Structure 1
Amino acid sequence: MKRIFMGVAALVLWAGTALGQANEAIEDVIGSQLQAFNDRDVTEAFSYASPMIQGIFREPQNFGMMVERGYPMVWDNSDVRFLDLREEQGMILQRVMIKDAEGVIHTLEYAMIETPNGWQINGVALVAPDLAA
């Protein structure tokens, strides 16, 4: 029984360490994409999207148009704050608080995947205000 407990404890510590190491890389990817949108460099912003997202939109311009229309707080972002990073049902999720062009604060959840090219963004969802805390 003690051996099983020690094995579980080691696995939990390893998972926490692995997620902690990924934290900086994930924040860099999201921050770089947000900066690319502010710079209106949709080709650069598109490069941080996962293969699935790139396959859906096919061209950086299509992706940029979707973000501009569907996620204006991402298109014109400021005062970015990274909140919690967690693993849920096999997915790595990073919460991010972003201020839009009008100064309104939004909370988004980025689904991240690790690929041979590093961490990439596999989706973004707006978090309802009552769930953002």
Structure 2
Amino acid sequence: MRFAALLCLAFLCFVAPACAEDVANAQAAIRAQEQAFSRNDANAAWSYAAPAIRKLFPRADIFMSMVQNSYAPVWRHKSFEFGEARTEGHWVAQRVHIVDEDGEAWEAIYTLEQEPDGSWEIIGCSLLKAGQSV
């Protein structure tokens, strides 16, 4: 997870400022997945994961279990607010500020890729406690 966080931070440093339409579409995918988590809708949440993620977690219930165990603040939270975004070609890196159910602050960095059909799918999410160094 530490390597993924470093990779995402490097991506944010070297990519161009965000294209508004790409960011809006990427944020819509993130928000839709976040809402699916809140409804316990495993199939909907899994549908926003990129093919490589779905290959790693070949069933929606396996994916949801991983999120519950490894990304609890993403799974359940008090607040979930978009921060800075960066784009590069068909990629978007989106920061999300999260406050978990216990009031702890977290920083998530989502990376998304635009698919050939124009949809945006989540290829990764790095999660750090706010103020924690990479």
Which one-letter code corresponds to 2:30 in the other structure?
I
- Larger helix share, 1 or 2: 1
Q: CA 1:130/1:79 → structure 2, altered by over 3 Å: closer, same or farther?
A: closer
Following superposition, the deviation at residue 109 of structure 1 comes to: 0.1
Following superposition, the deviation at residue 104 of structure 1 comes to: 1.6
Asked if the contact 1:38/1:77 (under 8 Å) is kept, the reply is: no
Following superposition, the deviation at residue 91 of structure 1 comes to: 4.5
Q: CA 1:111/1:24 → structure 2, altered by over 3 Å: closer, same or farther?
A: same
Which one-letter code corresponds to 1:40 in the other structure?
N
5+ residue gaps, structure 1 = 1-14
Matched with 1:77 is 77
Runs of 4+ in 1 over 6 A off after TM superposition: none
5+ residue gaps, structure 2 = 1-15
Structure 1: distance between partners of 2:48 and 2:77: 17
Asked if the contact 2:105/2:130 (under 8 Å) is kept, the reply is: no
Which one-letter code corresponds to 1:112 in the other structure?
L
TM-score, normalised to structure 2, is 0.78
Asked if the contact 1:92/1:113 (under 8 Å) is kept, the reply is: yes
Structure number with greater CO (CA < 8 Å, separation at least 6) is 2
Q: CA 1:32/1:53 → structure 2, altered by over 3 Å: closer, same or farther?
A: same
Matched with 2:22 is 22
Q: Percent identity?
A: 31
RMSD: 2.3
Query: What is the SS of the residue equivalent to 2:103?
Result: coil
> Greater shift after overlay, 67-76 or 81-90?
81-90
Matched with 1:58 is 58
Structure 1: distance between partners of 2:67 and 2:79: 18
Aligned length: 117
Asked if the contact 2:91/2:111 (under 8 Å) is kept, the reply is: yes
